[in-house]
């Protein structure tokens, strides 16, 4: 088990383009979370999956954001019509259950120019 894997590590895109990030959680973890982190801030929750069901979405997740977790395995986070304000580190985490602690991936750094 190699932990939580995120791809790509870095993404530079022009404003208005669509981007998609991928997260592969630890295989036996059925809970998967997406967070966003800007410079000098702690991570902020975006959305949560239990198996393939998306059970929670933050108000930060505007209509331009969509996340999926087909078959309850890997997850994708898509941002449509990117804006400069979307520039941030996007972090994925997984956990086995609520009390067992979270394992985070290395993140995807998005820069919108």
Stretch that binds other proteins, among 13-21, 22-30, 39-47, 77-85 (CB under 8 A): 39-47
> Please, are residues 58 and 47 in contact by the beta-carbon 8 Å criterion?
yes
Task: State which of residues 1, 2, 14, 40 lies at the interface with other proteins (CB under 8 A).
Answer: 40
If binding is defined by CB under 8 A, does position 96 make contact with other proteins?
no
Dihedral pair phi/psi, residue 98, rounded to 5°: -65, -30
CB 61 within 8 A of CB 78: no
Nearest alpha-carbon partner for 83 in 110, 106, 46, 52? 110
Residue 105 within binding range of other proteins, rule CB under 8 A: yes
Query: Which residues bind to other proteins, rule: CB under 8 A?
Result: 4, 6, 33, 35, 40-45, 48, 50, 55-56, 89, 91, 93, 98-107, 109
């Amino acid at each position: 088990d190699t932990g939580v894997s995120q791809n790509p590590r870095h993404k530079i895109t022009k404003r208005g383009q669509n981007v998609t990030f991928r997260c592969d959680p630890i295989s036996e973890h059925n809970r998967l979370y997406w967070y966003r982190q800007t410079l000098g801030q702690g991570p902020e929750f975006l959305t949560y999956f239990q198996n393939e069901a998306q059970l929670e979405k933050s108000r930060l997740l505007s209509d331009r954001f969509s996340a999926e977790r087909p078959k309850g395995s890997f997850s994708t986070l898509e941002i449509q019509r990117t804006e400069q304000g979307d520039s941030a580190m996007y972090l994925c985490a997984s956990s086995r259950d609520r009390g067992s602690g979270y394992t985070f991936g290395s993140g995807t750094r998005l820069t919108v120019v």
